[in-house]
Amino acid sequence: MKNKLLQKTTNTLRGRLSLWYILSVSLIILLSLTAVSTLFWITLQDQIDHHVHTVVNEAKQIVENYQGKERDELIKNFVTVRGMTVVVLSPDGSAILETNSPDIASVTEHQLQKILTLRSLYESTPAHFTENNIRFAALPAKINAGKGIVAVGYSTQILYATFYKLISIIIAVAVFLIIPITVIGYKFLKKQLLPLENIANQARLVSGTSSLSKRINITSPTEELKTIQEALNTMLTKLEEIFKSEREFFSDAAHTLKTPLAILKSQIENSNLIQGKREEMLKTIDNANETAQDLILLSKINNKPQKLETVSLTNLITDLSELAETLGENKKLNISKDIETNILLKADKRLLQRALSNIIFNSIIYNKEFGNVHIGLGKQKNKIIVIVKDTGIGITKHDLPLVFSRFFRGSNNIDKGSGLGLAISKAILESFGAKINISSSINKGTTISIIFS
């Protein structure tokens, strides 16, 4: 689950950049936090050391100038701060005063003994050490005409408590900052990457040959995006030119063929060939003529402005399915219909009829005896959908992606044809802004769906 989410995030450029941004922001905040904490910790320790340093010098004065109860009272009054401890050891090393816990003196004894032997009576800089969670400053002092020691300590527990409190505040502020920084960063990235999405969306719209005249145009592109935009538009211009010259070639060839075919036809009609032979030749010429007409039609679909009128798709498909029933009688096909009433569409009726009849007739031609054909027309989420489903011989996986190509005839072709039918249907339907999809399974059948948006 976690892995899938991470994979999904890192699959997109926006996801990767966002992740990188969040990681760097978190790292910067973490480093700053560590630097601030270290600085704060050092400063806090310096302050404590400075404080105990001052206090131990003052305590030394009291210990050297006063004795007995008076000294003890003065020291106790002097040490009023919470967490502060004073220990005084006599020259023989025994504790003569401890303001807090009686154990402290014994715990710190060996440290104090060391200082006692190493330091001279006249030093004013104390020795600092930490023992039993107390930070001490110790100075030798003149006690009972010998060298004793005065130590002032401050609890590091209080130091830690203050430090943790401050760190918690800093962490809370950091977390509080990370959330808006992340949201702002994500929104900023989204805005920056929007032109890329626009390019992809616009490129997606250039799906068929009919939309090759469209150009990608994004507002205020950056240098990099401008390069991509220009490269894609140059490619589209070239593609448009290639398709245009290809269309012109087919159209010219078809037009050129029309006259010789007409002459040939009239010569055969007037020839004294035997009846059967003459009819066979005339049929071949008619087929060639039909192919030439289809090629001319194909070249016109995207060039000529269409005569758009309101067409009742309900009536058109009902008529075609009735025709399919008649044509399917030979194979004893069962034609079922599910046609919604009152479905209207703005289109060129003649072309629409041609597109749909090619598809419906294929479902009969490539069907098996006693097979089924289902013709459906309906609306889904405001989109008109036409379905033609047959239980025929089906199309191989190899042929399926090629069926919309000009002159393509599958390995399953069983009837005379030119292989232009589906190419014409697709070109017509796309010129109306519709999308055509095909799925097929060999020996099970074929389904074609058309979605008008």
Ligand X SMILES: Nc1ncnc2c1ncn2[C@@H]1O[C@H](COP(=O)(O)OP(=O)(O)OP(=O)(O)O)[C@@H](O)[C@H]1O
Site residues (CB under 6 A) for ligand X? 358, 362-363, 366, 390, 392-395, 403, 408-410, 412-413, 417-423, 446
Closer CB to Mg ion, 85 or 362, in the complex = 362
Closer CB to ligand X, 51 or 406, in the complex = 406
Q: How far is CA 325 from CA 217, 331, 342, 349, 387, in A?
A: 49, 10, 22, 22, 16
Q: Binding residue for Mg ion (CB under 5 A) from 140, 328, 421, 445? A: 421
For the CB of residue 223, give the shortest distance to ligand X in the complex, in Å: 46
- Residue 359 CA to residue 345 CA, distance in Å, equals 18
- Dihedral sign, Cα of residue 354, residue 357, residue 359, residue 362: negative
Closer CB to Mg ion, 89 or 448, in the complex = 448
Partner touching 93 among Mg ion, ligand X, none, CB below 5 to 8 Å by kind: none
Closer CB to Mg ion, 15 or 417, in the complex = 417
How big, in percent rounded to 5, are the helix, strand and coil portions of the chain? 60, 20, 25
Confirm or reject binding of residue 328 to Mg ion (CB under 5 A).
no
Closer CB to ligand X, 48 or 297, in the complex = 297
Among 142, 136, 140, CA closest to 67: 142
For the CB of residue 430, give the shortest distance to ligand X in the complex, in Å: 15
State both tokens at 263.
């002459």
Closer CB to ligand X, 72 or 390, in the complex = 390
Partner touching 409 among ligand X, Mg ion, none, CB below 5 to 8 Å by kind: ligand X
For the CB of residue 358, give the shortest distance to ligand X in the complex, in Å: 6
For the CB of residue 250, give the shortest distance to ligand X in the complex, in Å: 14
* 321, 339 Cβ separation under 8 angstroms: yes
Task: Name the phi and psi angles at 207, rounded to 5.
Answer: -95, -45
Confirm or reject binding of residue 363 to Mg ion (CB under 5 A).
no
- CB-nearest residue to Mg ion: 421
State both tokens at 334.
């069962």
Tokens 């130091």 locate to: 159
Partner touching 420 among Mg ion, ligand X, none, CB below 5 to 8 Å by kind: ligand X
- Find the farthest-apart pair of alpha carbons in the chain and give their distance in angstroms, rounded: 156
Partner touching 126 among Mg ion, ligand X, none, CB below 5 to 8 Å by kind: none
Q: Are strands 334-339 and 372-380 parallel, antiparallel or unpaired?
A: parallel
Write the single-letter amino acid at 373.
Answer: V
User: Which range of residues in 94-102, 270-278, 343-351, 421-429 is near Mg ion by CB under 5 A?
Assistant: 421-429
Confirm or reject binding of residue 392 to Mg ion (CB under 5 A).
no
For the CB of residue 16, give the shortest distance to ligand X in the complex, in Å: 43
Confirm or reject binding of residue 140 to Mg ion (CB under 5 A).
no
Closer CB to ligand X, 60 or 389, in the complex = 389
CA dihedral of 270, 271, 276, 282, whole degrees rounded to 10: -60
Closer CB to ligand X, 189 or 403, in the complex = 403
Partner touching 89 among ligand X, Mg ion, none, CB below 5 to 8 Å by kind: none
Closer CB to Mg ion, 363 or 391, in the complex = 363
For the CB of residue 413, give the shortest distance to ligand X in the complex, in Å: 4
User: Which range of residues in 83-91, 146-154, 357-365, 376-384 is near Mg ion by CB under 5 A?
Assistant: 357-365
Q: How far is CA 347 from CA 308, 311, 381, in A?
A: 5, 6, 20
Partner touching 393 among ligand X, Mg ion, none, CB below 5 to 8 Å by kind: ligand X
A 10 A CB-CB count for 428 gives 27
Partner touching 413 among ligand X, Mg ion, none, CB below 5 to 8 Å by kind: ligand X
Tokens 């002159």 locate to: 407
Alpha-carbon 60 to chain mean position: 72
Which residues partner with 450 through β-bridges?
386, 436
Q: Binding residue for Mg ion (CB under 5 A) from 362, 363, 391, 418? A: 362
For the CB of residue 271, give the shortest distance to ligand X in the complex, in Å: 28
Closer CB to Mg ion, 115 or 403, in the complex = 403
For the CB of residue 195, give the shortest distance to ligand X in the complex, in Å: 39
A 10 A CB-CB count for 19 gives 13
For the CB of residue 365, give the shortest distance to Mg ion in the complex, in Å: 6
CA dihedral of 406, 411, 415, 421, whole degrees rounded to 10: -20
Tokens 């209207």 locate to: 344
Closer CB to Mg ion, 221 or 421, in the complex = 421
- Residue 260 CA to residue 288 CA, distance in Å, equals 11
Q: How far is CA 176 from CA 37, 189, 357, in A?
A: 18, 21, 66
Helix (H), strand (E) at residue 395? none
- Residues within the interface to Mg ion (CB under 5 A): 362, 421
